[in-house]
Amino acid sequence: MYLAPLNYDMFFKKVFSDERISKRFLEDFLDVTIEEFEMLKGKHRITDDASVVEFDFRCKIDNSYVIIDMQQWYKQDIIQRFYVYHAVNTGLQLESLPLKYMTVESAPGQARKIKDYKSLEPVLTLIWMAVDQLGFSYDYVGYIMTPEAVLDFIKKEKLWHNANIVELIEERNRILEMAENNTKELGFLGKNRLVFALQHNIVKNKKLEKYVRWFEFAEKTRHGNNKKEDFQEYEGDEIFLEMMKRLNREDLKEEDFVYIEKEKEFWEGVERFERGIYKEAFGIGLKEGIKEGIKEGLKEGEKKGLKEGKQEGIAEGILTVARAMKENKVDSDVIMKTTGLAREVIETL
């Protein structure tokens, strides 16, 4: 191992604690130039029972609050959890909201101090998904708050099958007018974004975007036998050189290596547990499920007395396993390796 895995929380925080690195990553991913940048603490107590929410990284750029969180392997609760993080990222601004005086018309000369919520700024929650693709083939998927009518418009099949283009345009204009209504700053809602960046897809898709290098770098560090020559392309970039310095094996302590081994074992255990969803589908383990499918296929074939029947039954057993895996968002590469099916077949399931 030449470099420690960037996707592990401890090393992610170690790298992104450098303001230049985190600022450059956000500029490359968002394709913007950041004028103002401020690092913020990531650990907060937020409820009466002192539960703690801890972000991997939090900062303020220009007029937005940003958190980045690294997500390993497959977990079932990530959507709800990161929605909470997203909401907390807004709620934490209450700590620094200025006060304003509100006059009371019914009581001249009296005023009350209240928080000025107009000072709230949009938040960006960026979830760096190291493995899980969430069932998408895109590089990243973003969500914002928009009027419900926007989604209704897209889903209204009757409207889209209507040959009357004038009616379609009129409906679109009505929706646009609603979406662009900024009365009392309604547009603030759409400025808040929850984005899932899908490392596996980014590396596979290899688009000509600045952010791709970051995810390819992270993917290379995931391999335990990574070598110095794997990172030659990054040596001319001072930001990546700093990252490599912070992850270099030679600078790691004994406890760092212990951490890596424990994390590797832990996340592999989580992965096995999460993929235990096969048991829900079959009431048995994965290998047993495939065997059971083949066995049932053979029985069916014997009934038909045909060689084709056996083959048909075996194939159906394997397809059943593949469907269950795909429905539970298992990576296509894992399905291919497990079942022997071609990617094209898996994509049509």
- Residue 219's Cβ-side half-sphere holds a number of Cα atoms within 13 Å equal to 16
* Helix, strand, coil percentages in the chain from 3-state DSSP, rounded to 5: 55, 15, 30
Average pLDDT on 102-114 reads 61
Which residues 6+ apart lie within 8 Å of 233 measured at CB? none
Q: What is the mean pLDDT of the chain?
A: 79
- pLDDT attached to residue 96: 79
Least confident range from 50-64, 115-129, 327-341: namely 327-341
What pLDDT digit, counting tens, does each position of 217-268 carry?
999 998 888 999 999 999 889 999 999 999 999 888 888 888 888 877 766 6
pLDDT greater than 80 at residue 138: yes
- pLDDT attached to residue 228: 92
Rounded alpha-carbon distances, angstroms, from residue 303 to 66, 294, 297, 307: 62, 14, 10, 11
pLDDT greater than 80 at residue 88: yes
DSSP-assigned beta bridge partners for residue 43: 54
- pLDDT attached to residue 316: 62
Least confident range from 16-30, 38-52, 302-316, 334-348: namely 302-316
Indicate the DSSP class of residue 138: S
Indicate the DSSP class of residue 97: P
pLDDT greater than 90 at residue 282: no
pTM of the model: 0.61
Render the burial of 214-247: b for 16+ CB within 10 Å, e for the rest.
bbbbbbbbeeeebeeeebeebeeeebbeebbebb
What pLDDT digit, counting tens, does each position of 177-211 carry?
988 888 888 899 999 999 999 999 999 988 888 89
What pLDDT digit, counting tens, does each position of 255-281 carry?
888 888 887 776 666 565 555 544 444
Q: Quote the percentage of the chain above a pLDDT of 90.
A: 23
Distance (Å, rounded) from C-alpha 41 to C-alpha 254? 27
Average pLDDT on 286-315 reads 51
Nearest to 85 by CA among 40, 134, 39, 52: 52
Indicate the DSSP class of residue 98: P
Q: Which residue is associated with the tokens 């409906």?
A: 171
* Token code pair at residue 167: 């009616």
